[in-house]
Every structure is written in C-alpha cells, then in structure tokens.
Structure 1
Amino acid sequence: MSVISVETSTLDHALPMALLFEACGTVTHVGPTFEKIAPGAVGKGLAGVMNFVHPQLSGSCADVLRYSGRKLRVELRHEANIPPGEGLSTLRGTVVPLSDRRGLINLALGADPGVALKRHRLTSRDFTATDPMVDFLYLIEAHAMVLSEFERLSERLDQARTAAEEAAVTDKLTGLRNRRAMDDHLGRLTVDAGPAFGLMNIDLDYFKSVNDTMGHAAGDRVLEEVARILRQEVRSGDMVARVGGDEFMLLFENCADVGLLQQIAGRIIQRLELPIDWQGQECRISASIGITMSSYYDTLDAERLVSDADSALYASKRAGRARHSVARPVGECSMEPEG
C-alpha cells in the first residue's frame, strides 16, 4: 500500500472539520472549522472532546477505529457559543484509520445545519469549495435576500396603502378631513352613543364674490386661510372637515357645553372677517354658522343632527349672515347674537 505524507495546512484546506488522534487516543490536530466550533481540543483525549451519540463508544482509539468507514453521530463537548437553554449540535462523522494505529475523524454538520451555521457564524470560507454546505449557504443567502426584498416590498405596500387611506379621507386643497371622513366619524359617534358631542356647520359668506372677481386661485388662497383659522380655533382632537366648496363641518367630542361652541363660533366669524391678502388685493369674507348638540336628542341620528345644524346655519343667513344659531331638538332654531 502506498503511503503519502500530507502537510497539516493541506489537510486543513481539504478537511477543515477533521480531527487527528494518536493510538493512545490523544487529539494531535484539528481543522480550522473544528477549532472555530469547539476550540481547545488538541492535547485532550477523544472521550474528553467528543460524546459519541450513535453508536455509543467509549472514546478509546481501538473502539473508535473499529467503526472505520461507518457513519457516526457525535457532539463536541466543548462547543462554543451555545445560547442558554439550548443543547450541543449533533454532527456527522466518519472514521479513517491511519498508520501506526492513529486515526482521523472527518466531521460534517448534521441534517439541520442552520443552527450550527448561525451559532458559529460559519460562512463558505469555513468549508471546501466542493462541500455541499457551500450550496446550502448560498441558498440561505439567496433566501435572506428574497425575504429582505419581500419585506421592503411589503413595507412599501403598507406605506402606499396608508397613504391611499389617508388621501381617501383628506381634502386635497386644505389638508382637512373630507365629507367621507366626517360622515364615517359622526356615524360611529351616533351608533356608539358615547360621551356628548357638538356639531358645527359653517358656510362662507361672500366667497362666490371672491371667486367671480379675483379668480379661483384667489378663492383657493382664501380656503387655505380658512382651514388654518379653523384648526387654530378648535381643541386638540376635534375634527375639522371641508364638506363642500365653501362649506365646513366641525365635530367637538366630549363636549356638552353649547356656550363653548358659541364662543368658538364668534371667534371664527371675527377672524374670518379680517381681510385676506391675495397678490396685493384684499379678499373679504365672513361666515354663517349653525350649531347643535348631541345632548339635545333622546335618540341620536347622524342625518338628523346634520340637517338641524344646516337649518340653524340658514337661520343665520336669513338673519343677515355673519352670525351663529343653535338648533334645538324640536327643529326650531334659537338665534344667538354674533360673538
């Protein structure tokens, strides 16, 4: 039988998970990947380095060499990087007898290599180029890339869906909520019959004159300024919506104080009557406002509340505009003086 001598560096390149042992069972050399997984094996006996799971061997040199060419399942007693509560990795191995009753055990990762790969941060550099584990690592990397791209796509879809949902309930010009958002929210409040709330309808006075004399761009500028004023005058959490060309609706949750809404309506009218600049020209408007309160009704109905607030609004217009009125549950409107 021919005998060849192989340098350990060559052996490490060809069998990076191999272990060499003497006739006495002492480990004399391990490959670089073996050392990475379970450092410090050199100089120890086989029984102190490995736990032979199947077949169950004593770890003596003679006992191990008897299983030459057969598959072993082993655990490395000093495996590193084991998370708390987890056990040793199970590896596969084959025994190769050498001259002078020495031996070599070449190891490979088990049927589920993912745990060991992650635990010891093994890469393709830790295996030979022809090792099937290199292909497995490629598949893991490809899977990770696909998963990462899927997550990014999913995130973009979520963002697009969120943006679409937001756009569906937002007035494009003013950034306020739109009629759909107001109808949905008011519908929920009337169905749930929770805390009291107030409803305010606003229609701009003289806005058509601005559009007719100065153009729609000036009208848009006025609407943007109206939206800014309304946001500033309501409380945090109240809803402000543009529900028509020059119509707005305000919803005041957790509010049973009609006097508070009358004060707010007065301030809104006062601020809207200040001139709004448009390219050096003054745009002048005002507002007629109708108010109603959920506490006025024994049974809440969204359409009834909106209708009564509209009735109060038109009562303000009939009385000369630039006023606010309060709708009572019997359908009558009590005229309130301008704030």
Structure 2
Amino acid sequence: MTMAARVPQHALTLDGAALDRLMPMHLWLDGQGIITSVGPTLRKLLPEGGGLGQVVSTVFALRRPGGPATLAQLRARGRSRLHLALNSDPTLVLRGLAQPTLGDGLLVNLSFGIWVTEAVRRYGLTVADFAATDLTVEMLYLVEAKSAVMDELRSLNLRLHGAKAAAEEQALSDTLTGLRNRRALELRLQSLLQNGQNFGLMHLDLDYFKQVNDSFGHAAGDAVLRRVATILGEETRATDLVARVGGDEFVLVFPDLADSARLAQIGHRIIERLVEPIDFEGQSCRISASIGMTFSTLYSQPLIETLHADADEALYQSKRGGRGRLTMHGADAARHGATP
C-alpha cells in the first residue's frame, strides 16, 4: 500500500522589521487595495508618507496590463510578472510578483530590473538598501568596478594622448629656442604645395655669431639665439612658421603672402631689430642678419628643393653684398625694392 507524500502547511508570521530586511521593496495591500506596508527602500522612491493608507492606484500605475493598479488586476496577475510605474515618477518602472495573503490581502515584491543603476543615481541608494541575498548587490559591485575601470581607462587615454601630443610637439620643435625644426618646416612646405597655397619663403643667417661664441662663450651664444627667436616670433604672424634649421640659420614661411614689397618690409624690420645690442650678463653681444627670399608664385611648378636653393642663393648674395642686407630671388628684385 502506498501513500502520497503530504507537505505540511504552516502559516508564516513575520514582524515588520523582518519583512523589511527580507523584502526592502515590498508593498502590502489589504482586502480593499489600501497600502498597509511599504518596504524601506521603496519608501525612498515615494512622496512623503510612502503612500500608506492610500488606494494603490493613487500611488502606482499598472503598465502590464495597462490601466489603474486595482487590487483585482494585481490579484489577476498573481504569480506572474508585474510592471508598476510610480505616479510620482512615471519614468521609473518597477518589476515584481504578487502573492495573495490571508484576509484577501496581497503582498507584492518589487525590484528595479534594468532601471537599477538609474534608481541608484536618482535616489542616492546604497548597498544597504537591498536585501543581502539580492543579486542586485553583486551587479552594483560590478557596475561600480566597471565605472572605476572606465574612469581609469579614460584617465590613461588622456595621459597617453597628452604624452603623444607632447612627443609630437617635441619632435617638431627646436629644444633651445622653442621654434619649429627642419622636420616641421618640410611638413608645412609640403602641405602648402599640395594645397596649391601661395607663400613667401625667407632664409635668414646671423652675421658675426661666431664672434659672440668666441668672445663670450656658448652660453652667450645660446642667449642670443633665444633672443633672436623671440624677435622673429614678434615680427611674424601666428599663421607663419619660423624654424631654426642650423646653428645660426633660420627659415621663415609666410602662407598667403606673395607680395614682395610686403615681405621685404618684414625682412627689413627684422634686420633693424637684430642689429640692436643683446645683453648677456652685462656684456653687449652684437650681431646682424642677412636674408634671402623667394615666392612660390615665381614658379610654374614650385618644388621645395628649388625654393630652398633660390632663397639660399639670394641669402649669399646678401652676404657677399656686405651682410645685414635682404635680397630677393629673381630678375625683378630691384624693381620690387627687395634689395636696399
């Protein structure tokens, strides 16, 4: 003879504190649909009073199925998923299950579902607001860890970007004067030619610089070079390029400036400023500058090598003509007033 196993049925009684610990998001309704108990975490989401003593439909809207959250509808959804929205915050939708209780009441256990991170942010929730057995706690730890990792990755990316920018800047700069170097010069000239942009090119060489080094030492020579860099920066536009390409050799590029008279005016002003004595530790260092220049518009097909060669030849004409002078390449140099 066999007998079917019988499962004993016991009424379980919980005090309010125990219920709050087990289900901090619970909602307890009596037989008339009046809210009689609200979990401590759920209370943080509701207006003052937590909805106690109110009909459930005045506090919550039933999203699935739609319509007012009446007791009958909640009972009908028992043991299946509920979607409840707060009337005070309709954008926050809670998930849950309803369980009928003695006395025709209803116990609803709610959770945030995918809204948990937004709820934590919006209502300032912490781990203490969730049941210890709730997997949401582990998820929050993962979210926090991910956030920390992402913050660190963003910080690392910014540092790497900054280091890359600094390295690129260093690779294109002259360490002594802070001017552009030969690499930066060639890149700019290539860009101007590729874009078909007109420009003026000026080669500048310091006169008597060797005497400064011989008389006062290399520290004085370095100070003079830095002063020359400052003057060249002051006499050119922000869009112009000034490069140091050798010990006392400089190249200046003037985008969109193909007017020989205008460029000659700039060159003469630079020469006038560089003949002024430069003080180094009480010693007066004297130099001058010789300049040769050319323009991209002088060539039907301008090439970097040709432009450099012609500007360099004009520079040495200035040297041979007595130094401290400016010479423009081309047969029209005298007509344009480029040679003083």
Q: Is the 8 A contact 2:333 2:339 kept in 1?
A: no
SS at match of 1:299: coil
In 2, distance between residues paired with 1:58 and 1:129?
A: 29
- Give the counterpart of 1:127 among 124, 127, 130: 130
Give the structure 1 partner of residue 93 of structure 2.
89
**CA spacing shift, 1:115–1:329, aligned 2, 3 Å:** farther
For residue 317 of structure 1, the aligned residue among 292, 301, 319 is 319
Counterpart among 23, 42, 45 of residue 55 in structure 2: 45
Provide, for residues 256-278 of structure 1, a one-character-per-residue CA deviation record: whole Å limited to 9, x for no partner.
Answer: 22112212222222221222122
Is 1:32 matched with 2:33?
Answer: no
% identical equivalent positions = 42
Cα deviation, residue 34, structure 1:
1.8
1:79 Cα shift?
A: 5.1
Task: Tell me which moved more, 272-281 or 71-80.
Answer: 71-80
1:32-84 C-alpha deviation (Å, 9 max, x unpaired):
222233445333334553516269998435x755766x2422213525272xx
Q: Which runs of 5+ in 2 are unaligned?
A: 1-8
Cα deviations by residue, 1:145-168 (Å, 9 ceiling, x for unpaired): 111111111111111111111111
Amino acid at match of 1:173: L
Alignment partner of 1:14 out of 22, 31, 34: 22
- What does 1:1-339 correspond to in 2, within 5 Å? 6-39=14-47, 40-48=50-58, 49-51=60-62, 53=64, 59-60=70-71, 64=74, 70-78=79-87, 80=89, 82=91, 88-95=92-99, 97-110=100-113, 113-194=116-197, 196-328=198-330, 336-338=338-340
Shift of the 219–56 alpha-carbon distance from structure 1 to 2, 3 Å rule, reads: same
SS in 1 for 2:175: coil
Query: 1:53 is aligned with what amino acid?
Result: R
Shift of 1:200: 0.7
Listed as ranges, the gaps of 5+ residues in structure 1 are 83-87
Aligned length: 329
Which one is further off, 152-161 or 294-303? 294-303
In the superposition, the TM-score normalised over structure 1's length comes to 0.86
Q: Distance in 2 between matches of 1:118 and 1:147?
A: 17
Residues 67, 258 of structure 1: CA spacing in aligned structure 2 closer, same or farther, 3 A cutoff?
closer
Deviates more, 1:321-330 or 1:289-298: 321-330
Q: CA deviation at 1:20?
A: 1.1
Normalised by the size of structure 2, how large is the TM-score?
Answer: 0.86
1:11 Cα deviation from its structure 2 partner: 2.4
